[in-house]
A and B are shown apart, each in its own frame.
Chain A
């Protein structure tokens, strides 16, 4: 019922747009009727143009995310466990972290051109910090009781790492990863708008410049849907991996 009323609000807003556009209250060129956009969206989707453009964007975002996870999660855990490593790297991290990722796009273009490499570098840069910080926090905040138990039962360092530190830090790493997902998409699209010959960011900008306004909106809608799917997919996978955590926190 609540879901339904939420959907009704969305439909009402879409209908208002449609009406305002058709009655000429707003510029029909800049705000084409929703039905026109929907029809364009449908045509471009069936022809495979939009999904193709979106796929190249989303696959870059996902690749960047996974790359950042593969590098930063282990590094963050190591920093959380080792005081020395943390002291060594924390100043660098704290200096680089506040840099808004789009700010490095020009430099990345200079170094890597406008190909996939440049975009991956920027996406990895953007996703690295939330994941790194999550991993550091996770490894640092492990209940000392768990470590003591592992020590009392003579477990090896390897067992401590994979059986205690990794699962205990999991929820925190996951929180960082969840933050990184929308950032990956944002930076992927932005890097395509600045320097690219493909991808949905490039497409949206090109359509705007050629006054193909319904196409532009269709591109935005396609991105929105992908964002939704990406978030939902992440949520599903993490909920499965961390089922114990939801139960633990909910159970006490």
Chain B
């Protein structure tokens, strides 16, 4: 169980009054759950994610994983960034990128290579191991970033608007890929997006945030059967209801 309690983050820029990005956010992510975090753009979602994985220190509040407070990036969490091109190291091949983040992991070289290869296979990039990131399309780069997160062996995947910069068709493919892999490998997922449809389509629970200083506006369980289907699920009454509820919520606040 990942618990976020009263998370507050304000920035002060030399002298000017502090701007408050997060105004006391609390929710929890049960083990194995897929939680979407949705909110208007600029509401501090990325800040929240960076506080959750210990890259940033919150002004107040705390994040605990199984009761232990997070203060530095723990091996149980893998962060997947919005911009894969600025996160995959261009001087390493795709395989090299994965092996690089596994340097501190336990296990022999051969084991790590095996882990890396199976992660690539899971995202359908087995044949692209020796390619450089810049040789791949945007969607494939995002797959590679996902493979790196999977190979890292973290039980929790944190994704920061990972599909924001790919075309619609690719995006649907990536959504289904992520949902499938996460379920299959029993990963806990905290998925940040500004796209309400995407949030509902993927999640077991949607956490909606208010504009800054962000607070939790609502926590909605999504009662849709798995595996989801791009056409059937999106036409389902329950999908439409959830979508409408979140829209209304975000418009009101």
> Does the CB pair B134–A153 fall under 8 Å?
no
Closest chain A residue to B135 by CB distance?
Answer: A251
> Does the CB pair A148–B81 fall under 8 Å?
yes
Closest chain B residue to A166 by CB distance?
Answer: B91
User: Across the interface, which residues of A come within 8 angstroms of B87, CB to CB?
Assistant: 145-146, 148-149
Q: How large is the interface on B (under 10, 10 to 19, 20 to 34, 35 or more residues)?
A: 20 to 34
Segment with Cβ contacts to B, from A93-101, A118-126, A223-231, A241-249:
A241-249
Known A148-B55, A244-B91, A247-B132; judge A153-B81 contact (CB<8 A). Answer: no
User: Across the interface, which residues of A come within 8 angstroms of B72, CB to CB?
Assistant: 154
Q: What 1/0 flags go to A92-122 for Cβ under 8 Å of B?
A: 0000000000000000000000000000000
Closest chain B residue to A153 by CB distance?
Answer: B101
User: Across the interface, which residues of B come within 8 angstroms of A151, CB to CB?
Assistant: 55, 73
Closest chain A residue to B84 by CB distance?
Answer: A145
A153 vs B88: C-alpha distance when bound (angstroms):
12
A142 to chain B, nearest CB (A): 11
A117 vs B55: C-alpha distance when bound (angstroms):
50
B56 to chain A, nearest CB (A): 10
User: Does B53 belong to the interface (CB within 8 Å)?
Assistant: yes
> Does the CB pair B135–A152 fall under 8 Å?
no
A16 vs B134: C-alpha distance when bound (angstroms):
51
A9 vs B72: C-alpha distance when bound (angstroms):
66
Segment with Cβ contacts to B, from A35-43, A127-135, A156-164:
A156-164
User: Does B38 belong to the interface (CB within 8 Å)?
Assistant: no
> Does the CB pair A152–B89 fall under 8 Å?
no
User: Across the interface, which residues of A come within 8 angstroms of B103, CB to CB?
Assistant: 155-156, 159, 163
> Does the CB pair A145–B81 fall under 8 Å?
yes
User: Across the interface, which residues of B come within 8 angstroms of A248, CB to CB?
Assistant: 90, 132, 134
User: Across the interface, which residues of A come within 8 angstroms of B90, CB to CB?
Assistant: 244-245, 248
User: Does A173 belong to the interface (CB within 8 Å)?
Assistant: no
Closest chain A residue to B53 by CB distance?
Answer: A152
From 58 to 80 in chain B, residues with beta carbon under 8 angstroms from any chain A beta carbon are 72-75, 78-79
From 214 to 250 in chain A, residues with beta carbon under 8 angstroms from any chain B beta carbon are 244-245, 247-248
Name 19 A/B residue pairs within 8 A (Cβ), A-sorted.
Answer: A145-B83, A145-B86, A145-B87, A148-B81, A149-B79, A149-B81, A153-B78, A154-B73, A154-B75, A155-B101, A163-B89, A163-B103, A164-B89, A244-B132, A245-B91, A248-B90, A248-B134, A251-B135, A252-B134
Query: B interface vs A, CB < 8 Å?
Result: 53, 55, 72-75, 78-79, 81, 83, 85-87, 89-92, 100-101, 103-104, 132, 134-135, 152
Given contacts A154-B73, A163-B92, 7 further A-B contacts (CB under 8 A): A143-B86, A149-B81, A153-B79, A163-B89, A163-B103, A167-B89, A168-B91
